[in-house]
Amino acid sequence: MKIISVEEQNSETLNPEAGAVAVKKPSLAPGEALNLVFGEYAANTQRAYARAFRNLQEWAELKELREMENFEPLRMLEFKNHLKSQGKKASTINQTMSALRKVCKVLTEFGYLKQNPFKASIIRAEKIDTATSKGALQVSQLNAMIEANQVMEYDVRTARLLRFRNGLVLKFLYLTAARRGEAADLRWDDIVQDGAFHVAVLRQTKSGKEQRIKLRQELYQELTDWWTLLQGSDIDSPHVFPSLGFRTLGHQMSGKGINDIVSRLGKAVGLDISAHYLRHTAITLALELGEPLQKVQSYARHASANTTIRYFHDRQLLEKNPTDRLPLI
């Protein structure tokens, strides 16, 4: 991954005079070190990191890495405000700053910077406006969360697995309108073929009855890729979304664990949400796209159509509220 487009210099070794202590020179050039750390990341992730750092370089007119050592946290805030002044979306700003935080951390750990100029406690995420309906998100917000997952900082030992699993949890909840507990309980032998389709058999549902949900071909393919990755990593777990903790590797996640994944990805783009927001979003968008109420009710697995229609009415009442036409006083 080509992050540094300007001078690829090594940190200099001090020429020790009498009594002076030599500073150890990093064994790799900055670009090589970054390639080593980020080389296994998805191509889109690598491009996002490179783009973020390139934008910073151009704005600050950096000629070499050591110039970043003079960066104060307020300087980073100034850059963030520059992005805002350009009309960048809040999600784009959050992704850029998240990528810079990771790059600066690596450069500091490898010894190319004496101190990390990026202070996470100072640079706060931009607040993204919530959707007009409580609990419903916009597709752009979902995409921002997926992109944030690609640049989020994970334990390097399990980063690839965590990144894939967490992104897949987000897509699964959204594309199936499943509840968090249903996702946590899902096992590989619950995914079966029904004629030309693939379905997930939900055995632990709110109604207590076994229910089946269709898996879109794109989602089924990602689930297949996920299974392959788990097998290649010697994780033979019966659970579709297993824990990846070192003490609980392969064990079943809890509903809270599923919710924590969504909450963390939401916070990365300035949203305070739970896993239920994805279910709410799926149902609301299906109704807005003109799907018949009874069909959406079946998809959502609601016992009453009144529950389903409430998702749509909540938004309609905000967009076309009767009080909007009342005379002002």
The pLDDT assigned to 300 comes to 66
pLDDT in tens, 98-116: 888 888 888 888 877 777 7
The pLDDT assigned to 167 comes to 96
C-beta separation of 147 from 91 below 8 A = yes
**CA atoms within a 13 Å half-sphere pointing along the CA-CB vector of 238:** 5
Question: 17 to each of 13, 111, 114, 132, 161, how far by Cα in Å?
Answer: 12, 22, 21, 67, 49
Q: Which of 15-24, 76-85, 232-241, 260-269 has the lowest mean pLDDT?
A: 15-24
The better pLDDT of the pair 218, 64 is held by 218
Residue with structure tokens 């269709």? 214
pLDDT in tens, 285-317: 777 777 776 677 766 666 666 666 666 555 544
CA 293 to chain centre: 31
- Which residues neighbour 301 within 8 Å (Cβ) at sequence distance 6 or greater? 177, 205, 206, 207, 211, 213
SS3 302: coil
The pLDDT assigned to 14 comes to 38
pTM for the full predicted model:
0.57
- Which residues neighbour 228 within 8 Å (Cβ) at sequence distance 6 or greater? none
pLDDT in tens, 244-279: 998 999 999 999 999 999 999 999 998 999 998 898
C-beta separation of 113 from 104 below 8 A = yes
Confidence of residue 172 (pLDDT cuts 50, 70, 90): very high
Burial class (CB in 10 A: 0-12, 13-18, 19+), 189: exposed
- Domain 1-126 sits in CATH at 1.10.150
CATH topology of domain 139-319: hpI Integrase; Chain A (1.10.443)
Neighbours of 171 (CB within 10 A): 17
The better pLDDT of the pair 241, 5 is held by 241
**Whole-number Å distance between alpha carbons of 50 and 42:** 13
Residues 143/190/181/249 CA torsion (nearest 10 deg):
-80
Q: Do domains 1-126 and 139-319 have the same CATH topology?
A: no
User: How confident is the model over 153-165, as a mean pLDDT?
Assistant: 93
C-beta separation of 91 from 266 below 8 A = no
Q: Is 76 a residue whose pLDDT tops 80?
A: yes
The pLDDT assigned to 130 comes to 44
The pLDDT assigned to 146 comes to 92
The better pLDDT of the pair 45, 104 is held by 104
Angle at 277 between CA 188 and CA 124, to 5 degrees: 110
Domains in the chain: boundaries: 1-126, 139-319
pLDDT in tens, 241-253: 999 998 999 999 9
